């Protein structure tokens, strides 16, 4: 694999520019500290000193996270297939999120692991996480939202634009969630429909996703 095709290679310029800023910050901090020592100073620069210190620490942390995240990608280390909430992830992740996914895969707390590169290449999953309904109505994009599924993904379209078969599959999934679990959001028992403002409503998302949690 060529350098510019690696995660680290893609970050070469970013890391270089970031490091240049980090290297210059100590001089700025020293300059402010020296000013603060002047007995004849006109201004108090305590806030500026704190801001520079925070920036220095934050940028150093960001630099280390970028390097560590790039190493996870380039070494093809396994990562958790879902966030800590249990919801599957898709698309490029912030470095801190990727580090968390890799940590859970390494310490054995991940329910399932995957390859980060392979997951990014799964365009079908990435699209399944997009909430926008892809249908076109009268030449304009539909303003509806794709229906949520129990695995954290989205159905192919909003409810009105789903096929009869797709609706049947989702209804079966919802009935299973209602039968299997009590609802943590509205408090109804297993087997009872969810309630919102005193009326029955569609199954709440936490109850639906409980189908994919251990013990369900």
Average pLDDT, the chain: 88
pLDDT confidence bin for 64, thresholds 50/70/90:
very high
Max mean pLDDT range (14-18, 80-84, 187-191, 209-213): 14-18
Q: Which of 21-30, 140-149, 178-187 is least confident?
A: 140-149
146-165: average pLDDT: 85
- CB-based burial of residue 72 (10 Å sphere; 0-12 exposed, 13-18 middle, 19+ buried)? buried
- Give the pLDDT confidence score for residue 134 in this predicted structure: 81
Asked if pLDDT for residue 214 goes beyond 60, the answer is no
Give the dihedral of Cα atoms 105, 110, 115, 118; nearest 10 deg. -160
- Give the pLDDT confidence score for residue 118 in this predicted structure: 85
19-25: average pLDDT: 97
Both tokens of 192, joined, read 């009872």
- Give the pLDDT confidence score for residue 49 in this predicted structure: 97
Which of 161, 162, 166, 190 lies closest to 178 in space, CA to CA? 190
Which of 167, 22, 153 lies closest to 91 in space, CA to CA? 153
How does pLDDT run across 49-60, given as a tens digit for each residue?
Answer: 999 999 999 999
How does pLDDT run across 157-195, given as a tens digit for each residue?
Answer: 899 999 999 999 999 999 999 998 899 889 999 999 999
DSSP lists the bridge partners of residue 115 as 78
- Give the pLDDT confidence score for residue 209 in this predicted structure: 82
Asked if pLDDT for residue 123 goes beyond 70, the answer is no
In the chain, % of residues over pLDDT 90: 52
Higher pLDDT, 4 or 73: 73
Max mean pLDDT range (42-51, 144-153, 175-184): 42-51
141-161: average pLDDT: 84
Asked if pLDDT for residue 1 goes beyond 90, the answer is no
């Amino acid at each position: 694999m060529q350098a510019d095709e690696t995660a680290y290679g893609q970050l070469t310029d970013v890391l270089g520019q970031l490091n240049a800023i980090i290297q210059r910050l100590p001089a700025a901090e020293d300059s402010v500290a020296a000013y603060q020592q002047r007995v004849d100073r006109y201004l108090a620069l305590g806030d500026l000193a704190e801001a520079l210190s925070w920036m220095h620490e934050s940028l150093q942390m960001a630099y280390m996270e970028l390097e560590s995240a790039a190493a996870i990608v380039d070494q093809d280390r396994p990562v958790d297939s879902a966030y800590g909430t249990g919801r599957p992830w898709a698309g490029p992740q912030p470095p801190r999120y990727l580090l968390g996914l890799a940590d859970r895969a390494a310490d054995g707390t991940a329910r399932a692991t995957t390859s980060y590169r392979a997951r990014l290449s799964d365009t079908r999953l990435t699209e399944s996480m997009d909430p926008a309904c892809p249908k076109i109505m009268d030449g304009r994009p539909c303003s509806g939202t794709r229906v949520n599924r129990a695995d954290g993904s989205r159905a192919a379209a909003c409810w009105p634009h789903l096929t009869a078969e797709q609706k049947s599959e989702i209804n079966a999934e919802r009935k299973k969630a209602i039968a299997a679990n009590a609802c943590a959001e509205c408090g109804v028992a297993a087997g009872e429909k969810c309630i919102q403002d005193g009326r029955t409503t569609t199954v709440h998302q936490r109850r639906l996703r409980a189908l994919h949690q251990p013990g369900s």
